[in-house]
Structure 1
């Protein structure tokens, strides 16, 4: 039992101070339960509270762990598991749980859970639910009996909501079902210091930056959007292409391009995390998997990086092997090495 500095410890309990978690636990004699300082349960009366150095000491004194804050578990492990379960719930639920419901299930306050979820996933619970709904809509549209059937199957409460939310697909659901019919995608090519590059953009922003022969890349673009109107417009895209070329020449300057990123919920989590890696630094695929809260998904993270179609602006070149050495790059390891060199990235070293 801790007898010294009780008032400081009690103050941490009253504030639900998360930074104090792991430094002590408090037990409530009236309930026989012990908790971590940040426990969201109703505050106990001061005269019923005793402080202990750790969970073992509290259990030896006859107290049992709280079922809300799980003070006998490692906080990091418990948080990762809570976020994983919340993601699974969001992905599979017919009626999406709200923030309060998710937070109560995880044993956190709504504000704290929102902060933890965004730190692990890179999106808020609401944003993640929207991304999952988008994926379900994309998957349902090709084979559904009608566009309306696909909309409701994806979790939209009304067909009007799906048509209003063009961000879900980058176009209306009917256009997506018809292979982006009616959407105009403009493209232009240019020479850069790393070879020819093709830039394509929708009304929302850049949807492709790829190195390679323009004729082949135009075919890739057409295959991705088979009934869209693919238009070569070198003059209209001149300013945008110039910004892309400047970004390739000086990737450390940062990217302020408008982007139209389209992928699965998992891919978008990975791509968003990539944009958070500062120029001059790298992560391994395992570290990137940990960053998005999916430490066992290293291979899936590598596949998402390989599927990126917006070179440099979504900087998948900043992901390397666990040893620190360069690994495969969609547009060639030589280009990856050149980009990292321009960013002043430190030489490869053993990361683990």
Structure 2
């Protein structure tokens, strides 16, 4: 895995993008690189093109502004969007809902969730009318529910018993089968940046029982020097097991990190490979 520090000119370019919306030509002139070279090297270093990085920063600012005082229009312009139509065209897909609903903490959104007991502990499975929005693992059902409610404080969040919701029931069963080590598929909608989606889609192509290193996955998505960006995308995955970020390990064979705890990651890998804990050790 390449751990060398990025070229100082690329770090300078990133700082400039943090401060202002520069075109690729303007950015290249400011750091002394041609637009073509800057585009390629920036993406190699950070996993995003300068335009994708700028869009991600704007989306982050928009989320912050939408959570604060004031109306939606003010939030749009404070975040740097030139018009409301721009964020409704591309921002809505990344937020997973219209900006007004996000600002209101999911107001108007209905989320049904079910808890299930698995060999990995508790699992929370949640869905809107559009599809699964969360699969979380933990030790405490109340803590998992609190995390969901914290993300969408104004949404109508209803706990339902597994099997008692016509939309959620088949998805709960499919996820339960996956958590039990069975094979299966569940329809999902990936909501994230273009780079995150490429990483998550690549994760889902890793065969059961196999693993990849962060560097190998970075190469698979066409960004061989973006192993750290790949690791961040794995950490931001909201759909445990279905998007199998547990199949990514370090180049030395150690487990690395896992959002839902290393013991669960180890258990998932052992179940998929058919190995015992002693054999893995």
Is 1:246 the counterpart of 2:177 in the alignment?
A: yes
Is 1:190 the counterpart of 2:116 in the alignment?
A: yes
TM-score by length of 1: 0.57
Q: What is the distance in 2 between the residues matched to 1:83 and 1:340? A: 37
Is 1:341 the counterpart of 2:267 in the alignment?
A: no
3-state SS of the aligned residue for 1:230? strand
Equivalent of 1:331, from 229, 252, 260?
Answer: 260
3-state SS of the aligned residue for 1:156? coil
Q: Report what 2:188 is aligned to.
A: 258
3-state SS of the aligned residue for 2:108? coil
Q: Which deviations, in whole Å up to 9, do the C-alpha atoms of 1:71-97 show, x marking residues without a partner?
A: xxxxxx899667655554444333x52
Q: What is the distance in 2 between the residues matched to 1:247 and 1:159? A: 41
Is 1:129 the counterpart of 2:60 in the alignment?
A: no
CA RMSD of superposed structures (Å):
4.3
Equivalent of 1:281, from 208, 211, 215?
Answer: 211
Contact 1:121–1:269 (CA under 8 A) maintained in structure 2: no
**Greater helix percent: which structure?**
2
Contact 1:137–1:154 (CA under 8 A) maintained in structure 2: yes
Q: Which deviations, in whole Å up to 9, do the C-alpha atoms of 1:59-117 show, x marking residues without a partner?
A: xxxxxxxxxxxxxxxxxx899667655554444333x525x66678743649x946x66
Q: What is the distance in 1 between the residues matched to 2:122 and 2:198? A: 26
Say which one has the larger Rg.
1
Q: What is the distance in 1 between the residues matched to 2:106 and 2:234? A: 24
For the structure 1 residues 312 and 143, does the alpha-carbon distance in structure 2 shift closer, same or farther, using more than 3 Å as the test? Answer: same
Is 1:224 the counterpart of 2:154 in the alignment?
A: no
Q: What is the distance in 2 between the residues matched to 1:129 and 1:205? A: 29
Q: Report what 1:68 is aligned to.
A: none
Q: Report what 1:30 is aligned to.
A: none
Q: CA deviation at 1:183?
A: 1.5
3-state SS of the aligned residue for 1:259? coil
For the structure 1 residues 222 and 79, does the alpha-carbon distance in structure 2 shift closer, same or farther, using more than 3 Å as the test? Answer: closer
Q: CA deviation at 1:336?
A: 1.3
Q: CA deviation at 1:245?
A: 2.5
Q: What is the distance in 2 between the residues matched to 1:78 and 1:333? A: 28
Instruction: Point out the more displaced range, 241-250 or 174-183.
Output: 241-250
Q: Which runs of 5+ in 2 are unaligned?
A: none
Q: Report what 1:158 is aligned to.
A: 83
Correspondences of 1:1-352 after superposition (within 5 Å): 87-94=14-21, 96-97=22-23, 106-107=33-34, 109=36, 113=39, 121-123=46-48, 125-164=50-89, 165-212=91-138, 213-233=140-160, 234-235=164-165, 236-250=167-181, 257-261=187-191, 273=199, 276-277=202-203, 278-279=206-207, 280-283=210-213, 293=225, 301=231, 308-320=237-249, 323-326=252-255, 329-344=258-273
Q: Which deviations, in whole Å up to 9, do the C-alpha atoms of 1:104-143 show, x marking residues without a partner?
A: 8743649x946x6666555555444332221110122233
Choose between structure 1 and 2 for higher RCO, CA contacts under 8 A separated by at least 6 residues. Answer: 2
3-state SS of the aligned residue for 1:222? helix
For the structure 1 residues 83 and 328, does the alpha-carbon distance in structure 2 shift closer, same or farther, using more than 3 Å as the test? Answer: closer
3-state SS of the aligned residue for 1:141? helix
Q: What is the distance in 1 between the residues matched to 2:10 and 2:234? A: 23
Q: Report what 1:16 is aligned to.
A: none
